[in-house]
Structure 1
Amino acid sequence: MSVLRPLRLLSARTRCPETPPLSDVACLLLAGGQGTRLQQLTAVDSKPAVPFAGSNRIVDFAMANAARSGLRRLVVATQYAPRSLHHHLRTRWGHCFDKGGLVLRDGQGDYHGTADAARKCWDLLTEGPEDLVMILSADHVYDMDYGALLAAHRASGAAVTVAVNPVPLAEARAFGVMQADGAGLIQSFAEKPERPAAMVGRPDMALASMGIYVFRRDWLRLALFEGTHPALDFGHDIIPHAVDRAEAFAWTLPAGPSGQAYWRDVGTLDALRLAQLDFVNAEPARLPFACPASDWYLGRGSVAMPGAVVPHSARLTATLVAPGAQVPPGLVTGDDAAEDARWFTRTPGGTVLITQAMLDRRAAYAGIRRSVTPPSIPRRGLHA
């Protein structure tokens, strides 16, 4: 993966920029997902709360985009393990919105899909005079000016505008995939298809939904509340309905400062690790992280999360060290796939995840072996 120049994150010490407010636009940030493909990293935290490049969290990208775009009111729908996420959003981002403008609504298990979350937060999305509703995703790493998306939606007159980005066809099964004509009208849409449709003229690429939408409020209200079987999900229900009625348009994410659009799905351990590597060589003037790369990047494609301790004698390759994990001296990963998988989580893509529970299990086994090995027999230790 080539190194790009990702967006500038706002830190807790950074004053939010003076941009024209979009305070009349109702905006819902969907931040309730568990992210099961991140395995042990989401055992006690939701996917948006997973650490990313030091003290940042995945949700910070959507929040930085919202603050820089001038949004002054944001409803955040949370559900799975929301406590740490709520604390982080209030302390790091609360000052970027109007007083009372950052509203956190915990579904407490009552949201049964993304569209269902919007329906159950509807009372918070009808307060402003603007006739638009914007839906954002909290679990991607991306750079976007939401003002440009809103302007494109108004110009098109569409019922719904879907933010999209080209992805390699081989990776497209993880996304909602569509085809659009030259004017942007979406002609077909399939959520996580087994055989994704290629883009016209680009047979190796597919047009993927970013999970970011702008709706006419009256249209969305009817889609959410009318009918005998209420829609539960945007990707499976709402967007296909709009496409069938020829009322959905695509808006392609434009290039950023790097000359390329920047959007990464970090839903797997491999994707989470590789996306962070994009930020290792980011220009400090453009990316004032709360923690410099020297504090979280271990080299050899490995990343340490907050609270992790990794001694200099450890040699970790393509490894994620989970928050709070205390790596023992001399630990080696990345040389022996079978040995990695014996003690840790190792993906088919080669990423190794180390948690404290895994290290404890490994240490306990090593201790048992030492206690039962006769002194006259040479000991074969593990990597310790």
Structure 2
Amino acid sequence: MTPRATPAPDMATLLLAGGKGTRLHDLTARDSKPAVPFAGSNRIIDFAMANAVRSGLRRMLVATQYAPRSLHHHLPTRWGDRFEPRGLQTRDGRDLYQGTADAARRCWAPIEAMGGDQVLILAADHVYDMDYGALLAAHRASGAAVTVAVDTVPRAEATEFGVMQADATGRILTFREKPADPAGMIGDPGRAMVSMGIYVFDRAFLRAALFDRPAPAMDFGHDVIPDAVAQGQAAVWQLPAGPSGKAYWRDVGTLDALRRAQLDFIETPPARLPFACPVTDWYLGQGSIAMPGAVVPQGARLTNSLVAPGTQVPAGLVTGDDPDEDARWFTRTDAGTVLITQAMLDRRAAHAHIRRSVTSPAPFKRRGLHA
């Protein structure tokens, strides 16, 4: 991959990759959210990793937690020659990270060893295209202690994000994490400015925020960023347009968002895929996606479906025609996305076998005649 025009100098970088992603249902039964496949052989985490490579970052610490095994295999296999040294932080279930800020505090020793005056915090579970070097340059120019990368979304869709208002200079005036009634942007009240979960901190400020607070900060969105806003020390950096001419960032934390984001990459990709993967390998048509190892015969007709990795779809399977029938056997969202896994198909097949056994007539036996 060709580096960006604005390479990021040496600085400490922490990639947070421990999320479970419960809203992805069975797709994260054995894998963390960042490890979920996206558009063929890519994984969600690969977008952050590719951005780091293109931005010229040479060192990164990856904090893992939930179901880390597949990530621990995937990262060195695909990215191991890109970053040295690598740190994979994991917990065994007895001493879990209590939030994003708690993960940074527990990883502080290797972060400190990386050196540099700034610390870059990245999220591993979003699909986006970003030059981290440009973010760092804007942070240094702002004079703020922390810069939050932001995008804008319709106000009604902002309840799942950190929402802020900023003045004309980019200084953050208000910040609320996942508000029930998100604040509209100044000058554009129909849209909301939301945090991408990506931050650049001055090292000294972050150290004090993590260790000198009376009550330990557990989460960036709930604790650290609101404190910085209250001190007048927080600024925003707006995600610029990508290859499509528009900014593209998606939190693919639901089945609907995961399916729709992959559909965005079919004709005119809104952002660069980390690695090329032929559309024919993963797009089934009719709004449906096949994940790695899934086998879907031509006789199946799937609509708005996600076929989980390794799933063997039987010939003749139909989804999308009858919402009640879909929901009976599969996970179906209110918006109509259908998740199909092998276990679901096995239960469906077992029920059909039992039903056939019960409804089939018993073999006719002629009674014997006795004198």
TM range (shorter): over 0.9
8 Å Cα contact 1:161-1:249 kept in structure 2? yes
Match among 173, 182, 185 for residue 187 of structure 1:
173
Among candidates 33, 40, 48, match of residue 34 of structure 2: 48
Q: Is the 8 A contact 1:23 1:73 kept in 2?
A: no
Q: Which residue of structure 2 lines up, in the alignment, with residue 331 of structure 1?
A: 317
2:341 pairs with one of 333, 347, 355: 355
Distance 2:306 2:47 in 1: 20
| Residue pair 1:19, 1:70 contacting (<8 A) in 2 also | no
1:170 CA displacement = 1.3
In structure 2, relative to structure 1, the CA distance for the partners of 1:287 and 1:58 (3 Å cut) is: closer
List alignment gaps of at least 5 residues for structure 1.
1-14, 377-384
TM-aligned CA distance change 1:67 to 1:210, over 3 Å? same
1:311 is matched with which residue: 297, 311, 329? 297
Q: Aligned residues, how many?
A: 360
**Take 1:43 and 1:284, find their aligned partners in 2: how far apart are those partners?**
29
Query: Which secondary structure state, in structure 1, belongs to the residue aligned with residue 267 of structure 2?
Result: coil
The CA deviation at 1:282 is 3.6
Aligned counterparts, 1:259-274, within 5 A: 259-274=245-260
Q: Name the structure 2 match of 1:379.
A: none
Report if aligned partners of 2:244, 2:269 keep a CA contact under 8 Å in 1.
Answer: no
1:113–1:233 contact (8 Å) kept in structure 2: yes
Structure 1 pair 36–287 and aligned structure 2 pair: CA distance change class (3 A): closer
Q: Which residue of 2 aligns with 1:31?
A: 17
What residue in structure 2 maps to residue 373 of structure 1?
Answer: 359
| 1:257 Cα deviation from its structure 2 partner | 2.0
Alpha-carbon distance between aligned partners in 1 of 2:66 and 2:274, rounded to the nearest angstrom:
30
Note the alpha carbon deviations across 1:35-65, whole angstroms, 9 max, x for none: 0000110000000000000010000000000
Runs of 4 or more above 3 Å deviation: 15-23, 282-290
1:106 aligns with 2:90: yes
- Residue 177 of structure 2 aligns with an amino acid whose one-letter code is E
Mapped pair 1:279 → 2:283:
no
How far apart are 1:211 and its partner, in Å?
0.1
Cα distance, 1:20 vs structure 2? 7.1
1:126-173 per-residue CA deviation (whole Å, 9 max, x = no partner) reads 124421001000000000000000000000110100000001111100
| Corresponding letter in the other structure for 1:75 | L
Task: Report the CA distance shift for 1:141/1:121 in structure 2 as closer, same or farther (over 3 A).
Answer: same
Structure 2 unmatched runs, 5+: 363-371
Instruction: Choose which of 86, 95, 105 in structure 2 pairs with 1:119.
Output: 105
Structure 1 counterpart of 2:153: 167
TM-superposed deviation, 1:107: 3.2
The corresponding residue for 1:88 is 74
Letter in 2 for 1:104: L
Correspondence for 2:327 among 308, 318, 341: 341
The secondary structure found in structure 2 opposite 1:28 is strand
1:76 counterpart SS class? strand
Residue identity over aligned pairs, in percent, reads 71
Q: Distance in 1 between matches of 2:195 and 2:231?
A: 18
- Partners of 1:80 and 1:338 in 2: CA distance: 33
Secondary structure of 1:166's counterpart equals strand
Counterpart CA distance in 2 for 1:50 and 1:253 is: 24
Q: Is the 8 A contact 1:16 1:96 kept in 2?
A: no
Contact 1:161 1:248 in 2 (8 A): yes
Q: What's the Cα RMSD here?
A: 1.8
Question: Secondary structure, in 3 states, of the residue corresponding to 1:365?
Answer: helix
State the alpha-carbon separation in 2 of the partners of residues 181 and 288 from structure 1.
Answer: 35
Structure 1 residue 256: deviation in Å?
1.3
1:256-299: CA deviation from partner (whole Å, max 9, x where unpaired): 12110010110000000000001111469965844311010000
**TM-score, normalised to structure 2's length?**
0.94
Q: What is the match of residue 368 of structure 2?
A: none
The structure 2 residue matched to 1:196, chosen from 173, 182, 191, is 182
1:261 partner SS: coil
- Residue type of the alignment partner of 2:306: L
Contact 1:21 1:72 in 2 (8 A): no
Determine the structure 1 residue equivalent to 2:286: 300
Residue deviations 1:325-361 (CA, integer Å, cap 9, x gap)? 1111000000100000000000011100000000000
Change (3 A) 1:72 1:181: same
What is the aligned partner in structure 1 of residue 122 from structure 2? Answer: 136
TM-score (norm 1): 0.90
Paired letter, 1:152: A
Partner AA of 1:107 in structure 2: R
Structure scoring higher RCO (CA < 8 A, sep ≥ 6) equals 1
**8 Å contact from structure 1 (residues 77, 107) kept in 2:** no
After superposition, the Cα gap between the structure-2 partners of 1:288 and 1:246, relative to the gap in structure 1 and judged at 3 Å, is: closer
| Distance in 1 between residues matched to 2:92 and 2:107, nearest whole Å | 13
